[in-house]
Structure formats: structure tokens, C-alpha cells
Amino acid sequence: MAILPLGSCQHYSPISSEVTPSPCRIIQHAMGETCVSLNPQRVVVWGGTELDPVLALGVKPIAGTPQVLSYVQKKLDRSQWEGILNVDSPQGPNLELLLLLKPDLILGHQSRIGQIYPQLSHIAPTVLDAAEDWKQTLQLFAQALSRTERAKQIMADYYARIAAFKVKMGDRLPFTLSTIEIRADALILDTKDSFARSVIQESGVVLPPTLARYDWRNWALSKERIDELDSEAIFIRSWGGTGQERQTAQSELEKLKSDPLWRQLPVVKQNRVYEVGDYFQGAGPITANLILDDLFEHLL
């Protein structure tokens, strides 16, 4: 995905109804090419993992789905996300509300809102990502928001933190770490193809061999196989979508801690189990740095 030469966007004047061109850049993305103004001011972002890189770039959208970024909100200054209007509806983005908001850029992912791209692009220039790599998403959104230098600095800082972690870990690398999520009805692994594991892997920390065979298609671990979690450390968290689900998941976590199969794991006996946050579900530079925070805090 790339930026093409400058062109012009056509806007209708609300007073004269005349078409007035304004400078813009043509940006290639998952749905084709879109002419985006040079400095978007009224940005809408659909999706939590899509909001992460936008906030990291120093842009506060006027609207989107801020409630799905709940897994990192408590780690952010309230001013970064408070006041972002929720435009969610059971059918997806509330198009009537978007029309009233008059955004000058809409950002999102093809898998979430690609089916209504024609409607969205009639409301405002719309750029949709299709990448599974958070770094590519950051770069695309940085192009659309004219924040490419900021994106370069974000990545430079990220790699510097990884390098610092590796230096401090020294000959303890490669270090084995299991990361799991307790839900109301399942124990879920962060598998080798997950966002969280990609950050952890870059840091020189690896899955124990017993978990290397799992991926997103078979990420639920039965209690009978709980011994496969044994490693040099475990990161554990609970998660539930609603208040009741969260309470049930937390209850299941407490049950697990008292389970004989769990308590007999050598890593548990050595007190090398650490509770982390549900931001492990996310994706983006903010979430990546929260995961690095846990590596620094618990493994060093």
C-alpha cells in the first residue's frame, strides 16, 4: 500500500453548492484508491485494534467504537479516549449519525466494514486495511493521517525497547513462556500466530515445545493437558465480554489456581505465574508496549 502523487478532492460548499477542489493524496488500500485530505481533522475509526494505532499516532478521533478498546483504556490517560462518540449500532456503523458528524476521513478494517465501503465512501474518504500485521496497519493509517514520521519514531522506540530487553535478559534467552486466557467456558492459549506472541517472540521469549503445535484453529486447552503449560514462566489473565462473563471468568481463574493439576506444575510451585491484563487480546503499538511492560516487569 502506498501514497500516490497529490491530487484534489472535490467538496460541496454548503452555502453555494458549488464544487470546490482541495489538495489531497491518493492512498492505496484494501478497497482500491482513496483521495484523502492532507491534514484530516474529523476522523472516525471503526474497531478497537484499529483505534490503537490511531491513538498512538497522536490523533483523537471524533467517533468510532471506543468501548471495544476497554482492554487498554485503564492504561491510558482518560483524555486520549474520553469523548470519542460511539457510532456503533446492531447493524454496524450508524450511517445516519456519521452523516451528521461530517467526518473528513474514515478508517477501519476490510473484514469488519468492507461490505458497506460504498456507503461509507459516500460519507467521507474511507481507507480500509486488510493486513493481519499490526505494523502494516500502523504504516497505512500513518499515511492517511499524514503522520509517517511519528510512525517511524514509534517503531524505532519499539525496537529499542526490544533490544534493551534482550540485553538485560542476556544468556537467559531463549526463555520459555506460556500465555493463557481464562474465559467462562474455556482456557485459551495465545498461540504462535497471535499478536501477543508475535511481540513476545521478537523479544527472544518463546513458546514451550509442548505448545508449538497449537494455532488459532485449536487454541482451547483442556484441563487434562494443563501440564503442557509448564515453562519458565506463565502469564495468565481472565476475560469476559459482559460484566457477568467477566465475573464468571475471574471465578474460573480462582478455581484453576486451586486445581491440583495446576498446583503440581513446577512453574506454579516456583511462583513464576504472573497475572497480566486483557490487552493481550489487542493489536497495535499501544498494546505491544503494554506487553513489553509485562516482560520487563516480570521476567527481569
Walking along the chain (300 residues) 10 residues at a time, the average pLDDT comes out as 47 40 87 95 94 96 90 88 91 93 97 95 96 95 97 98 98 97 91 95 96 90 92 93 80 92 96 94 95 98
Q: Give the model's pLDDT for residue 6.
A: 47
pLDDT in tens, 211-223: 999 988 889 998 8
Query: Which triple of cell numbers denotes residue 281?
Result: 487480546
Q: pLDDT tens digits for 49-78?
A: 999 999 999 999 999 998 888 888 889 999
Sign of CA dihedral 97, 102, 103, 109: positive
Please state whether beta strands 175-182 and 32-37 pair in parallel, antiparallel, or not at all (unpaired): unpaired
What pLDDT does residue 21 have?
Answer: 57
Task: Identify whether 174 is preceded by a cis peptide bond (ω within 30 of 0).
Answer: yes
pLDDT value for 11: 42
Listed residue (178, 161, 269, 173) closest to 230, CA to CA: 178
What is the residue type of 187? Answer: L
Q: How far apart are CA 70 and CA 62, in angstroms?
A: 17
How buried is residue 162: exposed, middle or buried, by Cβ count under 10 Å (0-12/13-18/19+)?
middle
CB 67 within 8 A of CB 73: no
Q: What global pTM score does this model have? A: 0.89
Rounded-to-integer distance, Cα 228 and Cα 94, Å:
45
Query: Domains along the chain?
Result: 38-146 (3.40.50.1980), 155-299 (3.40.50.1980)
